[in-house]
């Protein structure tokens, strides 16, 4: 009986905290509603996205995103709802159809008044194609282990991956 209670506790803790303890029991079963990994980056599909306090339309709208293409990180899933976090750390629930798998990123800097160099190639000794302000949103075309090829309105080039919010450290994007 004690073993049953112990196993029930392990299963309950796995469910509550998203632990992979029981993942081996249900091989190849998706750990999320969508079957995709969590966390993961996506972007906003629309220029009007309601962010709610909880995963139903009955929950109040906490705020509205008004920028299509803004990257967000999915941190949880519940049925057709996705809990997202933005580059400033704000979190809320968004209906799945308002999100796109298109990868975008926001340029980040330690100091807001600094400019991030955008290079002609994935090499800091190559020519600087542009200098981007913090907060610029770009489409992610490709990432190697430490560089990303990005493009946006009036720019196209390579940036050090650490300068972006919207791609994980050492992530490969094709």
Shared domain check, 126 and 73: no
Largest CA distance in the chain: 70
Q: Is residue 3 part of a domain?
A: no
pLDDT at 112: 83
Q: Residue 120 sits in which domain range?
A: 105-165
Domain boundary among 62, 79, 102: 102
Sign of CA dihedral 138, 142, 144, 147: negative
Q: What confidence score (pLDDT) does residue 119 get?
A: 98
| Shared-domain flag, residues 118 and 156 | yes
Residue 86, domain member (yes or no): yes
Segment 8-23, tens digit of pLDDT? 343 333 333 443 433 3
What pTM does this model have?
Answer: 0.80
Residue 132, judged by CB atoms within 10 A of its CB (0-12, 13-18, 19+), counts as buried
In the prediction, which pLDDT does 30 show?
53
Q: Residue 15: inside a domain, yes or no?
A: no
pLDDT at position 72 is: 98
Q: Same structural domain for residues 82 and 118?
A: no
Kindly report the CATH number assigned to the domain that includes residue 132. 2.30.30.40
Residues 53 and 78 occupy one common structural domain:
yes
Question: Which residues lie below 8 Å from residue 91, measured CB to CB, with a gap of 6+?
Answer: 75, 83, 84, 85
| In-domain check, residue 5 | no
Domain contains 11: no
Kindly state whether residues 97 and 131 are assigned to the same domain. Answer: no
Q: What is the pLDDT of residues 131-159, one digit of tens each?
A: 999 999 999 999 998 999 999 999 999 99
Tens of pLDDT along the chain (174 residues) come to 443 343 334 333 333 344 343 333 334 445 788 999 999 999 999 999 999 999 999 999 999 999 999 999 999 999 999 999 999 999 999 999 999 999 999 999 998 889 999 999 999 999 999 999 999 999 999 999 899 999 999 999 999 999 999 999 999 999
Of 102, 134, 150, at which residue does a domain stop? 102
Residue 98 forms part of a structural domain: yes
Closest of 28, 44, 41, 31 to residue 77, by C-alpha: 31
**Are 96 and 127 found together in one domain?**
no
In this prediction, residue 42 carries a pLDDT of 98
Domain final position from 84, 102, 120:
102
Quote the pLDDT of residue 12: 35
As for how many domains the chain has, the answer is 2
In a domain, 141, yes or no: yes
Residues 46 and 91 in one domain: yes
172 in a domain, yes or no? no
96 shares its domain with 117? no
Q: Do 129 and 88 have their domain in common?
A: no
């Amino acid at each position: 009986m004690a073993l049953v209670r112990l196993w029930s506790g392990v299963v309950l803790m796995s469910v509550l905290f998203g632990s992979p303890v029981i993942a081996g029991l249900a091989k190849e079963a998706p750990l999320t509603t969508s079957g995709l990994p969590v966390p993961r980056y996506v972007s906003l599909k629309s220029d009007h996205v309601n962010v709610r306090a909880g995963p139903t339309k009955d929950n109040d709208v906490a705020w509205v995103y008004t920028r299509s293409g803004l990257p967000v990180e999915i941190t949880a899933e519940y049925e057709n709802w996705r809990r997202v976090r933005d580059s400033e750390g704000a979190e809320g629930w968004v209906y799945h159809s308002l999100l796109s798998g298109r990868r975008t990123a926001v340029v980040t800097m330690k100091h807001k008044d600094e400019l991030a160099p955008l290079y002609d190639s994935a090499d800091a000794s190559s020519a600087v194609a542009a200098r981007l302000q913090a907060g610029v949103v770009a489409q992610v075309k490709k990432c190697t282990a430490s560089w990303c090829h990005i493009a946006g309105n009036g720019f196209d080039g390579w940036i050090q991956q650490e300068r972006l919010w919207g791609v994980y450290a050492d992530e490969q994007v094709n």
